[in-house]
C-alpha cells in the first residue's frame, strides 16, 4: 500500500469515528422522546397549577371585597329602615323606600355573587388538592423515565469516551502534517475533513473535478483537496480495494 493511500484510508476512518462522536453528542444533548414529553408535561402541569392558584387568589380578593361591600350595604339598609319610621310626609317616605329597595338589591347581588364565588373557589381548591395528591404517583413515573434517560446518557458518555480513544489511536498512525491538516479542516469545515468523489464531483460541495484531478485522486499517490471546499478527496472503491 502506498503511503498516500494509507494516510487517506486512515483519515477516512478517522472521519467516520468523528461522525459517530458527533451523532452520539447530538443524542446526548437531545433528550429522548419520553423524557422530552415528561419535561413538556411537567411544564404544562406547573403552568396549569399556577393558573389555578392565581385564579383562586383573584377570587379571594374579590370575596374579601364583597364581604366589605355586604357589610356596607347592611349598614346602609339598617340606616334607611330606621329612617323609614321617622319620615313625616309621603315624599320622604317614597325617597326612603327607594333607598331601601336599592340597598336591598345591591346586598342581594353581592350575596349571590359571593355565593357563586365561594362555590367556584371550593371547586378550585378541590382541583388543586387533587392535583397535589396525584403527585406521588406521577413522581414515581417521572423517576422511572428520568432514570432511563440518565442510564442512556451514561451509555452515550461511555460511547463518546471510547470513540475519542479510538480516534486518538487512528490519529497517532497519521503523519503529523496530515494530522494537523485533518484537524484544521475538521474545525473549519463543520466537522467534515474528507469528501468522497462521486460521479466526478465532490460529495460535500458538489464541485465537478477536472478530469486530470479525478485521475490523480484515483491513483491515490498524493493527498488531493477539492478546489472549491478544500476538503481531502478520496474514491471509496480505491481506498477499500485490497492490495495485491
Instruction: Say which residues have a Cβ less than 8 Å from residue 174's Cβ, sequence separation at least 6.
Output: 7, 10, 11, 14, 182
Q: Which DSSP helix (H) or strand (E) runs through 202?
A: strand 201-202
Q: pLDDT (tens digit, 9 = 90+) per residue, 39-67? A: 788 778 888 889 999 999 999 999 999 99
Mean pLDDT of 226-240: 95
* Whether pLDDT at 75 is above 60: yes
pLDDT at 147: 86
Q: pLDDT (tens digit, 9 = 90+) per residue, 208-217? A: 999 999 999 9
What value, to the nearest 5°, has the Cα angle with vertex 72 and ends 59 and 83?
155
Can you list the pairs that 227-230 forms with residues at least 24 positions away whose Cβ atoms lie under 8 Å? 228/202, 229/189, 229/195, 229/202, 229/204, 229/205, 230/185, 230/189
- Domains defined along the chain, listed by start: 3-30+155-240 (1.10.287.1490), 33-133 (1.10.287)
* Whether pLDDT at 243 is above 70: no
Q: pLDDT (tens digit, 9 = 90+) per residue, 94-141? A: 998 999 999 999 999 999 999 999 999 999 999 888 888 877 777 777
pLDDT at 122: 92
pLDDT at 138: 72
Instruction: Say which residues have a Cβ less than 8 Å from residue 22's Cβ, sequence separation at least 6.
Output: 191
Give all strands of the β-sheet with 194-198 in edge-to-edge order. Answer: 201-202, 194-198, 232-234
Closest C-alpha among 21, 22, 24 to residue 163: 21
Whole-number Å distance between alpha carbons of 28 and 50: 31
Whole-number Å distance between alpha carbons of 180 and 121: 70
* Whether pLDDT at 24 is above 90: yes
**pTM > 0.75: yes or no:** no
Say if residues 229 and 204 touch (Cβ distance below 8 Å): yes
Whole-number Å distance between alpha carbons of 48 and 40: 12
* Whether pLDDT at 1 is above 60: no
**182-215 as b/e: b if 16+ CB within 10 A:** beebbeebeebbbbbbeeebbbbeebebeeebbe
Mean pLDDT of 9-21: 96
* Whether pLDDT at 218 is above 90: yes
Amino acid at each position: 500500500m502506498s503511503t498516500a493511500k494509507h494516510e487517506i484510508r486512515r483519515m477516512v476512518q478517522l472521519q467516520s469515528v468523528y461522525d459517530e462522536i458527533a451523532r452520539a453528542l447530538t443524542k446526548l444533548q437531545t433528550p429522548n422522546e419520553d423524557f422530552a414529553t415528561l419535561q413538556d408535561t411537567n411544564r404544562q402541569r406547573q403552568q396549569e397549577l399556577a393558573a389555578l392558584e392565581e385564579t383562586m387568589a383573584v377570587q379571594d380578593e374579590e370575596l374579601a371585597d364583597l364581604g366589605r361591600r355586604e357589610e356596607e350595604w347592611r349598614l346602609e339598609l339598617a340606616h334607611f329602615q330606621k329612617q323609614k319610621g321617622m319620615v313625616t310626609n309621603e315624599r320622604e317616605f317614597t325617597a326612603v323606600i327607594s333607598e331601601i329597595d336599592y340597598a336591598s338589591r345591591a346586598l342581594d347581588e353581592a350575596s349571590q355573587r359571593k355565593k357563586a364565588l365561594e362555590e367556584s373557589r371550593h371547586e378550585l381548591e378541590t382541583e388543586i388538592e387533587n392535583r397535589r395528591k396525584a403527585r406521588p404517583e406521577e413522581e414515581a413515573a417521572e423517576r422511572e423515565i428520568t432514570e432511563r434517560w440518565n442510564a442512556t446518557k451514561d451509555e452515550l458518555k461511555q460511547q463518546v469516551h471510547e470513540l475519542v480513544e479510538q480516534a486518538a489511536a487512528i490519529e497517532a498512525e497519521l503523519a503529523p502534517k496530515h494530522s494537523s491538516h485533518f484537524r484544521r479542516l475538521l474545525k473549519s469545515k463543520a466537522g467534515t475533513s474528507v469528501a468522497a468523489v462521486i460521479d466526478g464531483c465532490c460529495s460535500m460541495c458538489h464541485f465537478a473535478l477536472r478530469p486530470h484531478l479525478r485521475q490523480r485522486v484515483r491513483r491515490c499517490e498524493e493527498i488531493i483537496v477539492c478546489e472549491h471546499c478544500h476538503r481531502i478527496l478520496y474514491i471509496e472503491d480505491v481506498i477499500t480495494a485490497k492490495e495485491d
